[in-house]
Amino acid sequence: MKVLVIGNEDRYKKYMPDVDIIKEADITFCPLGTSEEELIELGKPAQVLLVDAIAPVSKNLIENLPNLQLIHSEGVGYNAIDIHTAKERGIYVCNNKGVNAGAVAEQTILLMLGLLRKVATGDQSVREGNQLITKEKAMIEGITELADCKIGLIGFGDIAKATAKRLYPFDCEMYYHSRTRLAKEIEDKYHVTYLELNQLAATCDIISIHVPVTEETTGMINEEFLKNMKKTAYVVNTARGEIVDNEAMRQALIDGEIQGAGFDTVYPEPTTKDNPLVNLPEEAADKVLFSPHIGGITSSTFFRAHENIWSNVQAVMNDQRPNYVVNGVLKIRRG
């Protein structure tokens, strides 16, 4: 069995489970950024393509790997994979659904608390010898507790559910919006109330994004949405950067349309210092808290993900359907 990996070789080797299928595999590793020409040359015999969640897998690449049976994202995201071409060719595309839900939920709440408590500027002020000045200022301006916030979750998949579960002990009101409203018993289980999207924007003190990147969701946090929010409210994005309209968000921060934002993901990746959300004017810079897209990359997440990846590779090699197929293929075409 031939396997082509687009991703970090050391990471893959660290988290590989001790299973026979790996011992039988002939694995070729290619780092992110490897040209398509080289990937095609090295991957011609490959039956399996394992890819970093942000690695592009184009129509051209898929069409030029004639033996391919499975494309597997290392993470939950698969928006960089041409799932339509893979479906046309009868190739499974799989992800690791839900594998990082708890980890991303932790990061989401960290950003919420970090914004409310201004942890980045607070840390800096102490290092600069301004602890008492900053404390006095905070007492005058006021610090909002998470318990005093209405939290709005956009999307209610695995990560949003894990976030709601962890937020409940903070005693905050929780609302959500999704394409399909949940059954009442599910709403009650997670202590959430449904709102239409415009109501959610206008009602909540913190808006947290938990939807995948689709044509519908790309740029959904736009000028209209941001103007509908409270001027005292925050946006937290631990989903994908493409969901936020960067220029609209930048202007909203500069104009004071919202209080601030926390980003674990910023489009495009890698995030550079000239990005419009990073390169903010001084008066708006401290309104934003960043983390380097680490929400879902805990050690436990990677161990679970790689166990699932190789379990799915084994299933395909045994002519069985793998789990978490995202492109609707029911059975691969052989021969």
Digit-coded pLDDT (tens) for 254-274: 999 999 999 999 999 999 999
Q: How confident is the model at residue 331 (pLDDT cuts 50, 70, 90)?
A: confident
Q: Cα separation of 78 and 321, whole Å?
A: 18
Cβ neighbour number for residue 302 with a 10 Å cutoff: 21
Digit-coded pLDDT (tens) for 204-215: 999 999 999 899
**240 is known as an active-site residue:** yes
pLDDT > 70 fraction of the chain, expressed in percent and rounded: 99
Digit-coded pLDDT (tens) for 160-185: 999 999 999 999 999 999 999 999 99
Identify the active-site residue in 240, 250, 304, 306: 240
Q: Cα separation of 52 and 56, whole Å?
A: 9
User: Is pLDDT above 80 for 335?
Assistant: no
Identify the active-site residue in 72, 177, 293, 306: 293
In sequence order, the β-bridge partners of residue 48 are 3, 70
Digit-coded pLDDT (tens) for 229-246: 999 999 999 999 999 999
Is 331 or 60 the better-scoring residue by pLDDT?
Answer: 60
Strands 234-237 and 150-154: unpaired
Identify the active-site residue in 166, 269, 307, 321: 269
**293 is known as an active-site residue:** yes
**269 is known as an active-site residue:** yes
